[in-house]
Structure 1
Amino acid sequence: MLKSRYSPVESLKIMGHAPNQVMGPNIELLLWNVFKCKKKGWLEDFKTLTCDKDLILLQEAILNSPFDIDFKKSLQHQWMMARSFKNVKTNIVTGVKTGSTVAAQQHYFSVSKYSEPVSQTKKMLLATLYPLPTLGQSLLVVNSHLINFVSFEKFRAHLDQVFHTLENHNGPILLAGDFNTWNGKRLRYFNQLAMSFSLEEVKMDRKPRLNHLFQHLDHIYFRGLEVVNAHVHTNIHSSDHYPISLSLHTLNPVAIK
C-alpha cells in the first residue's frame, strides 16, 4: 500500500482583525473554492473580489505559504481557518477559511468521519456565529467542503454531519461551500435536508464546467435573510471554480423553526 503524502492536522487557526461590531443589515459575501491558490493571478483576483466583502468563504484555502501575510496582517477581516491536512513534502496546510468584518461570537469546526481514497484526506466544515443589528439575534454561517470520490453512504454521513451544526440555531443561517453535488442522488438528498431546515437555495445564472461534469458543485442556502443580488464571476479563471458574489439584507426578527 502506497503511503499518502498527506498527514492530518485537524485544528483551527485565527488571523487578522475584524473592525466592526455587528454583521448587517447589508451583507456582501464571496464564496470561492480557490484551488489551493495554484493558478497564476489568484492573489490579484482575490484582493479585487474581497475588498468590499463582509463575509468571505473559501474552500481549498492554504496556510504556510507566501500568501499568509495577507491574512495575518489584515485589518479588514478576521480570518478563521479549519485545517484538515498537510502536504508532508511542502508543509502546505489545506482546509476551509472564513473571513469576516465582525469577530465571531462562537466557532466550531469538524472533520469528516471518512477519508477520500488514494490521498486518505478528510474534509472540513467551519461554523461561525455573528451578532446582528437586532439585539439578541445572531447569524450562523457554515462554510463546508464535502467529501468526494466516495460512496453515497459516506457522502451522506458527511452531509448529515454538516446539517447537524444547524439543529440548535433558531435565527438566520447561511450554509455555503463546495458540496461536490456532481450527481442527482447527492443533490436530491442535499435539497431534502435543506427543506427540512427551511433553507432556500440562492438562485443564480451559471456557466457549467466540463471538469465538474457540467454539474454545479458550489451552493449557497439561506434562512431568515433577503437575497438582493447574486453574481457568478465567469470572467475569473484563477481557480477551477468560479467565484460567487452575493448581496444580502437582514430581516426583522421572526421566529424560525
Structure 2
Amino acid sequence: MKKLMISLAVALFATPSLAQEKLVHKIPSEDKIIQVKQGLSCHDCPFPNEFKLTVWNMYKGKKDSWQIDFEELMNESDILLGQEFSFKGKMKERLFNPEDEEIILATSFISWGKHNTGVTNISKYPTIQITPLRSKVREPFIRTPKLSLASQYKLEDGRSITFINIHAINFVKKKSLKKQINQVVNYIRTTNGPVVFAGDFNTNSKSKIKMMRNILSSEGFQEVKYTGEDDRMKWLGNKLDYIWYRDLELISAKVRGDVEGSDHKPLQASFRIPIE
C-alpha cells in the first residue's frame, strides 16, 4: 500500500515533461481545430424565432445507450451543444455522417495521439460564422487546453443569434476558470443580437459558481431555471452544467433525468426571440 501511494504521488507531482511522456495528448494547430460536416438540405434557411436547445456532456459515447439517446435529443432540438465528443467507434461514425444537420467539431486535443475530443455545435440551420476560443490556461499534469465554440446563425429579421458552447478548464483555481470565462465574455462583446452561453462550466466549488454568476449577470445574462427535478451533474455537491441567455424569452426548461447515455444529464430549454 505504501509503495502504491508513493507511485501515485510521483505521477501527480511529476514535472509537465515527465507527465507528457506518460500521457501523450496532441494539441492541434489553430488551423486544425475546426471540422465541419455538412448534411443540410437548406443552405440559406434562417434560424427560427422559437427554438429548442439541448446541452449535453456526452462522456465520449462510453455509455451503451448514447446513440439512441443522441438521436432522440437531436430529433427534439433545433441546436445541440455537446461536450466531450470522441472520434471513436459509433460516435465518430455518427458525427461524420450528419442527417440534415450541420455538425461543427472543435478539437481541444487528440487523446493518446489517436482520438480527437472537444466540443460540437450541431444545428438544423447553417452557420454564418464559426469561432473557436481556446483557453489560455491548461489543465494540470496532462497540460491540455479546453475550448469554447461560438457559432452564429441568421435570423428571419436580418439579425444574428450566437450560441457559445463551453467545456471549461478543470482541476484549476478559480482565477484560471475566471480567465476562460472572461475570454468568452470579451468575444461576446463583439457580437450583436441574442446570445446563449451554455455547457459544462466545471464549477466544482461554491466560489467558482459565485464568480461565474457575478460575471455573467453583470453582462446582462440570465440563468435558466428548470421545472421538475433538477438532477444536473454535480461534483462535491456543486452543479457543473448551465444555460445562460441574453435578449431572449425563456419559454420552458427541464433536465432530462430519464436519459442514461452519459454521466451528465442533458439540459433542454425552449426560447422565443423578442420582436424588436
**Secondary structure in 2 aligned to 1:150?**
coil
8 A contact 2:108–2:146 mirrored in 1: yes
C-alpha displacement at 1:68, in angstroms? 2.6
Question: What SS is found at the alignment partner of 1:24?
Answer: coil
Q: What is residue 48 of structure 1 aligned with on the other side?
A: 72
Q: When the two structures are superposed, what TM-score results if normalisation uses the length of structure 1?
A: 0.92
Post-superposition offset of 1:18: 3.0
Query: Which residue number corresponds to residue 26 of structure 1?
Result: 50
The match for 1:70 among 65, 75, 94 is: 94
- In the alignment, is residue 132 of structure 1 matched against residue 155 of structure 2? yes
Distance 2:85 2:136 in 1: 20
The number of aligned residues is 250
2:238 counterpart SS class: coil
Q: Residue 119 of structure 2: which of 75, 84, 96 is its match?
A: 96
CA distance in 2, matches of 1:131, 1:18: 15
Write the distance in 2 (CA, Å) between the matches of 1:52 and 1:156. Answer: 33
CA distance in 2, matches of 1:45, 1:66: 13
Q: Which position in structure 2 is the counterpart of 1:8?
A: 27
- Residue 56 of structure 1 deviates from its aligned partner by 0.5
Displacement of 1:121: 1.5
What displacement does 1:64 show? 4.6
Q: Does 1:247 align with 2:232?
A: no
Deviation of 1:31 after TM superposition, in Å, equals: 0.4
Shift of 1:239: 1.0
Shift of 1:221: 0.6
Q: Which of 223, 241, 255 is residue 246 of structure 2 equivalent to? A: 223
SS at match of 2:179: helix
Identify the structure with the greater helix proportion. 2
Match of 1:206 in 2: 230
Q: 2:203 aligns with which of 156, 177, 181?
A: 181
Could you tell me how far 1:57 is from its partner in structure 2? 0.2
User: Bigger shift: 47-56 or 14-23?
Assistant: 14-23
| SS of residue paired to 2:60 | helix
Is the Cα contact below 8 Å between 1:65 and 1:92 reproduced in 2? no
Tell me the residue number matched to 2:109.
85
Whichever residue aligns with residue 72 of structure 1, its letter is F
Of the structure 1 ranges 153-162 and 28-37, higher mean CA displacement relative to structure 2 is found in: 153-162
Q: Deviations over 1:150-204 (max 9, x none)?
A: 1222111111112111012231000001001121211111111112221101101
- 1:208: Cα distance to partner? 5.2
Instruction: Find the aligned partners of 2:232 and 2:264 in 1 and give their Cα distance.
Output: 10
RMSD: 1.6
Verify the 8 A CA contact 1:109 1:125 in the aligned structure 2. Answer: yes
Q: How far off its partner does 1:35 sit?
A: 0.8
Instruction: Name the CA distance, whole Å, in 1 between partners of 2:220 and 2:41.
Output: 32
CA contact (8 A) 2:168 2:180 kept: yes
Q: SS of the counterpart of 2:28?
A: strand
Q: Hey, what's the Cα distance between the residues in 1 that align with 2:112 and 2:202? A: 25
Which residue of structure 2 aligns with residue 150 of structure 1?
172
Indicate whether 1:160 and 2:182 are aligned.
Answer: yes
CA apart distance, 1:44: 0.9
Shift, 1:238, TM fit: 1.9
Aligned to 1:59: 83
Is the CA contact (8 Å cut-off) linking 1:208 and 1:214 kept in structure 2? no
Q: CA deviation at 1:6?
A: 1.3
Distance 1:208 1:140 in 2: 24
Distance 2:100 2:174 in 1: 40
Q: Where does the alignment leave 5 or more consecutive residues of structure 1 unmatched?
A: none
The corresponding residue for 2:213 is 191
Equivalent-residue separation in structure 2 for 1:88 and 1:215 (angstroms): 30
Cα contact 2:224–2:253 (8 A) shared by 1: yes
